[in-house]
Amino acid sequence: MKHITSFSLLKLLLCMVIPALAAACSDDKETPAGPAHMTVTRDNSPVDALDFGTYGGSALLTLQSDAPWTISLADPSDASWLTLSNRSGEATPDDEPRYIKISAAPMGDAATRKTTVVFRAGDVEKSISVTQTQPAATDDAGWESAYVANANMAVGINLYNTLDATGDWFDPDDIVAAETCWGQPLARQEWFDAVAAAGFKAVRVPVTWKLHMDDNWNVKEPWMNRVEEVVNYALNAGLYCILNVHHDTGQDGWLCADMANIETISARFSHLWTQIAERFNKYDHKLPFEGYNEMLDEKNSWVEPAPSGYEAVNYLAQTFVDAVRATGGNNLHRNLVVNTYGGGGSATRLDNLVLPSDVIPGHLLVEVHNYTPSGFSNLDGSLTDLEDDKMPLWTAEYEQLLGSELELLAEFSNTRGVPVVIGECGAYERILEEERAKYGRFISTYGHGKANISVFFWGQLIDRTTFEELYPVFIDGFLQGTMKN
């Protein structure tokens, strides 16, 4: 019998084990028999094309494949403006898809650019066309698009605590009392002229309607007349004027995100906007309508709404758009503004907003409110009892905090293809004016070169009686947002 050495035994064992291991590995990554199967979707729907605007943006696609896959650009030179998060990978388990982020860079002055992204798995191939174009400046009727209007508005101011006042201590049929009960004088043409002269491009005019309607929800004529008079002050000054429905929403407002009573609420809301739209139908593109202010659910939740809260906001946003468009005429082309739940700008609020469907493209804007940092705007009340020499300075930490929220808005605007209006922001007036100016410059210019974002200040900047600039240093900083990119 032939003697078997240790070395020979080792060789024998390896010859037996290695094929078995190879077979096992082969079984783990075995390509299924027959053609490969691959799906590429976006938001659970098939996708064949992606469209980006001036500032680019990104789209998140879901890839599932039972075979190794690759992704490429039909023209490799397009990698200069289009980025793919992944280029290849192994087969994906059924419960573990791969997420592919496709990002387009800002396009500058280029008119349009196109490319094709090609997905391959085995013998399966799927092509997705990608187009990046400048948004249209006007629609077919020559009306200014929301994109252009928002860029033109750029930086604005609110006519606050005036036509939006509410309470039970005054007679709402007394127009003077209703307009001045929150401590502001009557609105005058001279104030709007001073706002325009200072360099602002737009005014947001908040209006509360609920105290000025009869039992059938008809707006009383004297109130409608006064609102129109004030709107004309703004337009006469050459300003854009955003007209809204204000404290009908908010704490205990009748206009709330309540799906249990949505039919009644929607009918009243539609009736109100039909009246407003018919009254102001004759006005041109410088009068955008804002459907509602800070809408809350039936529990007045400022944090997270009731489970159906987002659904109700989306329902009423569509009601607003439908009511205005139904009045025809100029309102078929008017730019319309819808807000997130509570006016919040968090990722959750933005993700849960469904843009209304519209009979005409390019005439919708989305609004949020931003009082970050709360310790600089005094939203949290932390500055009220502090001495003047203890007021905060504008810091890099504040910029980082606010910047992270503004970045969400920029991404939302670019991804959804809709301009964003920051309808309210603020800085506490007792903070050193030079520090507030730094804040104003930061928030008003952040979107330059990144996204289509306008900003409106909530607070007193132009004296309502003398019509003089109260804080010229802050105003100069804030108005940096009107400068071209």
For the stretch 371-382, pLDDT in tens is 999 999 999 999
Mean pLDDT of the 235-251 span: 97
In order of 227, 341, 443, the CA distances from 323 in angstroms are 20, 20, 34
Q: Name the residue among 135, 162, 163 with its Cα closest to residue 149.
A: 135
Query: Where does the pLDDT of residue 484 fall: very low under 50, low under 70, confident under 90, or very high at 90 and above?
Result: low
Phi, psi of 184 (to 5 degrees): -100, 150
Mean pLDDT score of the chain, rounded to an integer?
Answer: 92
**Paired sense of beta strands 45-46 and 38-42, if any:** antiparallel
Query: Where does the pLDDT of residue 107 fall: very low under 50, low under 70, confident under 90, or very high at 90 and above?
Result: confident
Using CA atoms, how far apart are residues 42 and 134, in angstroms rounded to an integer?
23
- Residue 203 predicted with pLDDT over 80: yes
Q: Is the previous residue joined to 356 through a cis bond, with omega within 30 degrees of 0?
A: no
Query: Where does the pLDDT of residue 33 fall: very low under 50, low under 70, confident under 90, or very high at 90 and above?
Result: low
Over residues 423-474, the pLDDT tens digits come to: 999 999 999 999 999 999 999 999 999 999 999 999 999 999 999 999 999 9
Give residue 20's pLDDT: 44
Using CA atoms, how far apart are residues 326 and 319, in angstroms rounded to an integer?
11
Give residue 34's pLDDT: 66
Query: Where does the pLDDT of residue 35 fall: very low under 50, low under 70, confident under 90, or very high at 90 and above?
Result: confident
Over residues 311-369, the pLDDT tens digits come to: 999 999 999 999 999 999 999 999 999 999 999 999 999 999 999 999 999 999 999 99
Mean pLDDT of the 218-223 span: 98
Query: Where does the pLDDT of residue 477 fall: very low under 50, low under 70, confident under 90, or very high at 90 and above?
Result: very high
In order of 43, 239, 267, the CA distances from 99 in angstroms are 11, 45, 42
Give residue 32's pLDDT: 54
Bridge partners, residue 240, by sequence: 202
DSSP characters over 293-342: SS--BTT--SSS--TTHHHHHHHHHHHHHHHHHHT-GGGGT--EEEEPGG
Q: Name the residue among 162, 198, 199 with its Cα closest to residue 459.
A: 162
Q: Helix, strand, or coil here: 158? A: strand
Q: Which amino acid is at 75?
A: D
- Residue 205 predicted with pLDDT over 70: yes
Distance spanning both ends of the chain, measured CA to CA: 91
Mean pLDDT of the 73-101 span: 92
- Residue 31 predicted with pLDDT over 60: no
Give residue 287's pLDDT: 98
Bridge partners, residue 88, by sequence: 70
The DSSP letter of residue 143 is P
Q: Name the residue among 271, 282, 267, 268 with its Cα closest to residue 328.
A: 282
Mean pLDDT of the 58-70 span: 94
Cα atoms in the 13 Å half-sphere on the side-chain side of 435? 18
Burial class (CB in 10 A: 0-12, 13-18, 19+), 312: buried
Predicted model pTM: 0.89
Using CA atoms, how far apart are residues 71 and 85, in angstroms rounded to an integer?
10
Ordered alpha helix ranges (H), 29-92: none
Over residues 267-281, the pLDDT tens digits come to: 999 999 999 999 999
Using CA atoms, how far apart are residues 342 and 250, in angstroms rounded to an integer?
8
- Residue 67 predicted with pLDDT over 60: yes
**Across the beta sheet with 49-52, what order do the strands follow?**
49-52, 124-133, 112-121, 69-73, 88-89
Beta strand segments in 33-105, E = 38-42, 45-46, 49-52, 57-65, 69-73, 82-84, 88-89, 98-104
**Could you tell me how many residues make up the chain?**
485
Mean pLDDT of the 300-319 span: 95
Q: Exposure string (b/e) for 235-248, b if CB count within 10 Å is 16 or more? A: bebebbbbbbbbbb
